[in-house]
Every structure is written in C-alpha cells, then in structure tokens.
Amino acid sequence: MTKQTYPGSCTCGAVAFTCELDLAAGTTRCNCTFCRKARFWMTLVPAAAVAVTRGEDALVDYQRTPAGQPGPFLHLYFCRHCGIHPLSKGGAMPAFGDEFYAVNLACLDGGDDLDAALAAAPVRHVDGRHDDWASAPAHSFL
C-alpha cells in the first residue's frame, strides 16, 4: 500500500482540497441515479484523509439517504459557483469508522503521473441503484 497526498479542486478554483489516497488499492463506480448521471468515479477514504483547504463556504450540500439508512447518510457537495461535485461525505461505514469521503477522481489535480496512476487503478462496480453496495450490478456501463 502506497498512499500519496493529492491536491484537488473544482473547475473555477473556489474549492480546493487535499486527500491521501492509495489509487492502487482500487476505485469505485456506482450505478445509483446520482453517480450514473454525474458520471461520478470515486475512491472512498476515511474522513481524516481529506482536508478542504479553500472554499468550504462555497460548497452546497445535497443530501441523499439510501433505503434502510438513518438519514441523511450522504452529503453530496457542489461548488456553488461552477457546479462541480468534488466530493461527498458519508456516515458510518465499518471500513472507515464514523465518517468517510468519496473523492471525485476527476477533480484531482495533476499531470502525467496522476493520469498513469488513474489508468492503472482497479475499478470496483457496485449496485447502488438497488442499495446493494456489496454486489456488482448485472450490467456495468461506466
């Protein structure tokens, strides 16, 4: 496991963050209505691995509660200026403790080294459409 700190931002630069990730450990694609329509490709990390370094006041919070979860479970953050969705924050998950972030990999800032790491990163598909996060969907199109 090789964790690296990556900077990230929205398109207009109002929001910036850093996150400590191990891209070789894998990434996630979900088929729920939000992720599918937003084309959200993520990696899940403990909340302590993410820091919003600029523009926390520019983030707008859209909340979603999957079936069977006490709500709100997910906070889907958007930049109020450019509309980009850099990350989401969720409640308790056994692997991450009390809180976790879903980092939008498309919002990471970097060059060829980041592009190579993303191209090599394993992708796990999950069936969020049916709130079955432990299973892959019947069809993965992302």
Q: pLDDT per residue over 93-141, tens digit each? A: 666 667 899 999 999 999 899 999 999 999 998 887 887 777 888 876 6
Short-list 25, 65, 12, CA closest to 103: 25
Is residue 134 in some structural domain? no
pTM: predicted TM-score of the whole model, two decimal places: 0.86
Is residue 131 in some structural domain? no
Provide the pLDDT for residue 134.
Answer: 78
What gap in Å lies between CA 115 and CA 110, rounded to an integer?
A: 8
Is residue 140 in some structural domain? no
**Domains contained in the chain, number:** 1
CATH number at residue 88: 2.170.150.70
Identify the domain containing residue 81 by its residue range: 4-124
What gap in Å lies between CA 44 and CA 46, rounded to an integer?
A: 7
Q: In terms of pLDDT, which residue wins out, 62 or 98?
A: 62
Is residue 141 in some structural domain? no
Is residue 130 in some structural domain? no
Is residue 133 in some structural domain? no
For 32, which DSSP code?
Answer: S
